[in-house]
Amino acid sequence: MAMKTQRIRLLRCGAVAVALAVVAVGCGQQSGQAGVGERTGVAIDKAAAKTKDAAGQAVEKTGEALEKAGSAVEKTGTKMQK
């Protein structure tokens, strides 16, 4: 029975310590400054924008290459018919 009481006390102390840590971290942030989540979100947004731009350029280059290949196939077909 004494062991069970000690475990309950230990769990209570742990819960209080976690709650205090959460409060301390939350209170440590000064107003006007971005938090960790906000900074992470901004970084993700920037990475997504860069990826979108790179993908757009890749699609554009692929389109140009396909047009060149289509022209070459068309010329070859014309020559074969002659």
Q: Return the pLDDT at 67.
A: 93
Count CA atoms closer than 13 A to 18's CA, side-chain side: 6
Contacts of 29 (CB under 8 A, 6+ apart): 35
pLDDT (tens digit, 9 = 90+) per residue, 15-68?
888 887 776 666 655 666 777 778 888 899 999 988 888 898 899 999 999 999
Amino acid type, 53: D
Residue 69 one-letter amino acid: A
Report residue 36 as tokens: 């960790």
Q: Where are the chain's structural domains? A: 2-81
pTM: 0.43
- For 35, residues 6+ apart whose C-beta sits below 8 A from its C-beta are 29
